[in-house]
Structure 1
């Protein structure tokens, strides 16, 4: 039995410790060998990482680059756009985005002479609906950043509808897939976003430092990254200071000496997801989250996520009563071998493939006891 409900933070898969340990041990041995094979091995591992991400996204070859974080991915893309592309226009983002991305855009958009428009939920709603985004999305929106699955409600956006609206408005459209990738199918060819950013953490079971930026071939041709270096070139060993030229593909979003270690640590999780199949992982997750939602509603608690599985990602969020201290509640769960977290009064529960069915029952029983009137969590 595993009481792990933290896939929205760090994902797990069967045998993760052994698989990641073996990958890192192999890296340590190869990197420490007293020969000249280190970089050939390391760059091959990074190439494998990018290939696996391409398969997860169903992205064209040569359109995926590694970044240190999702925030760094977004920065690199926005600062690579043609000069004036955003000036005097709007950049659109939902209030329930991942906050780090908003922190970045608030300053970068100002420096680029554009206006950041932050769409809040409609009155009485716990997330920014697709209708709400479209209501604020006019022809002066030069770029829109969509959150596929929110980290505070697990609301699942209708990306095809939103991206099509963006095309009708003449906007560039990017998607942050971090909270949904690996637990719901994502297909670049079907969705048609101009760029996609994501992390190897969460449902992919990877490590931090292994984010990605995927850019459509058409947009790659327009981009001239400000953050550049020797690995932005087709041939990194071109050291002629007067003949720098960007690589024709996503390699141009590289910069200085790459960091392959996070890629090495994330390959086992990516491999597991691809070998198991996102559809199979989604089916398992939907069954578990449906049981959680049924229990929440039956108990008369406040569900802070969509009730319908077609509108929900892999998590279930519960709005805790005002009488409950979230940290005390988490400590009580932890003492029972149940692991979750909270954002303010929102309890976040994300069951994945290692989360046991028995643990699900144990969770609801424990929560029920802790949330009874008169019980101090």
Structure 2
């Protein structure tokens, strides 16, 4: 079997479900980190003001992205700590003796957190399972499991395992009828599939700047609606949680009046600074065009998958999925070995067990998709 190597231009880059890329990312990040090094190493007293200005820029770019009002969004080290800040802040009546509802295809890290918190905070974690033989939790199964005992529900906007996109508006409307608080993890859709906190009006939203937004690790976010912020008292708190972060009176701690109360110790400013170039690049793009390009390449993947007779474990309809396409490989195929061979021809993807995840973004091209499927057609046990 022979294959023509691809140029090292990202044509075959299909890992936007993990780390996003954009033209000039290396140079932009290098400059951002170099600039930060200069300001942080300067022999003066301006470091903190400049660093916090960069963090404020990060927060403002995120606010613009999801239509958030000033004072309702802050940074977090990751989605898990953001969720912990929420759950550890809610009034006791919201959780104790109640159910916290999640889907069985939520991001595992969040489930690990909630399972550990349930005994201490006195709630029951209810996980809606996937139906036998299916690849995502159906919205109707979430609705059926969602009764008035649910104090909080955590929805997954787009799943990392099947790219299924939930009908967030429908689910939140049901949650309102049940008297539940509703949060949404938008990690796998943010930056590609439009999401507005004004339109959905979820009580809280968590995400990261990785994936379609092309940012760095450590640059997560938490958004919360203003009326809920005032009712929350985060147990994960510190000097940055205060209205005046420079108050050192040990007996006069006072939460900030806005989303800053969900801060705690010194924030991960460097991750925010490193992600600002990606967010600025993204803000300057035609968002409709970004999604259209993904859909065009996604249609190619679906067509080629069908020709090979492989199972697509992602919804086919554009409005029911995120930006990724997941394909089930035959049991006879060594997924890790296949990924290694694809790497040698400039095609980058991954497998979770037998599931190959293909996520085309701005640097991916039709030529990259062609190279992927030429290799798959030539792979013993796959080609027809």
**What TM-score do the two structures reach when normalised by structure 1?**
0.97
In structure 1, what is the equivalent of residue 14 of structure 2? Answer: 5
Q: 1:300 Cα deviation (Å)? A: 1.3
Aligned to 1:89: 98
Please tell me whether residue 208 in structure 1 is matched to residue 217 in structure 2. Answer: yes
Name the residue aligned to 1:339: 348
Partner of 1:160: 169
- Aligned-partner SS, 1:240: coil
Cα distance in structure 1, aligned partners of 2:117 and 2:363: 40
Q: Say whether 1:359 aligns with 2:368.
A: yes
Residues in 1 aligned to 2:120 and 2:149: alpha-carbon distance in whole angstroms? 18
Equivalent residue number for residue 312 of structure 1: 321
Name the SS of the counterpart of 2:94 in structure 1.
Answer: coil
Is structure 2 residue 309 aligned with structure 1 residue 300? yes
- Quickly say closer, same or farther: Cα 1:371–1:5, change in 2 above 3 A: farther
Partner in structure 2 of residue 267 of structure 1: 276
**Deviation of the 1:250 alpha carbon:** 0.3
Q: What count of residue pairs does the alignment treat as equivalent?
A: 375
- Runs of 4+ more than 6 Å apart: none
What is the deviation of 1:373?
5.3
Contact 1:185 1:279 in 2 (8 A): no
What corresponds to 1:248 in structure 2?
Answer: 257
Question: Which residue is 1:100 aligned to?
Answer: 109
State the secondary structure of the residue aligned to 1:238: coil
Structure 1 374/175 Cα, relative in aligned 2: closer, same or farther at 3 Å?
A: closer
Asked if structure 2 preserves the Cα contact closer than 8 Å seen for 1:122 and 1:132, the reply is no
Question: Residues 213-262 of structure 1, C-alpha deviation per residue, up to 9 Å, x if partnerless?
Answer: 11110110110010111111121111122221111100101111222100
Whether contact under 8 Å (1:184, 1:279) holds in the other structure is no
Provide the C-alpha distance between the structure 1 equivalents of 2:113 and 2:225, rounded to a whole number of angstroms: 22
Find the residue that maps to 2:222 and give its secondary structure. Answer: strand
TM-score by length of 2: 0.95
Structure-to-structure mapping, 1:18-167, within 5 angstroms: 18-167=27-176
Give structure 1 stretches of 5+ with no counterpart: none
Deviation per residue, 1:117-141 (Å, 9 max, x gap): 1111123321001111111111111
Q: Is the 2:154–2:183 Cα contact (8 Å) retained in structure 1?
A: yes
For residues 160 and 32 of structure 2, what CA distance do their matches in structure 1 show?
Answer: 29
Give the structure 2 partner of residue 194 of structure 1.
Answer: 203
Q: Are 1:197 and 1:214, in contact at CA under 8 Å, matched by a contact in 2?
A: yes
Shift of the alpha carbon at 1:24? 0.7
Please, which runs of 5 or more residues in structure 2 have no aligned partner?
A: 1-8
- In 1, Cα distance between equivalents of 2:348 and 2:268: 31
Q: What secondary structure sits across from 1:276 in the alignment?
A: coil
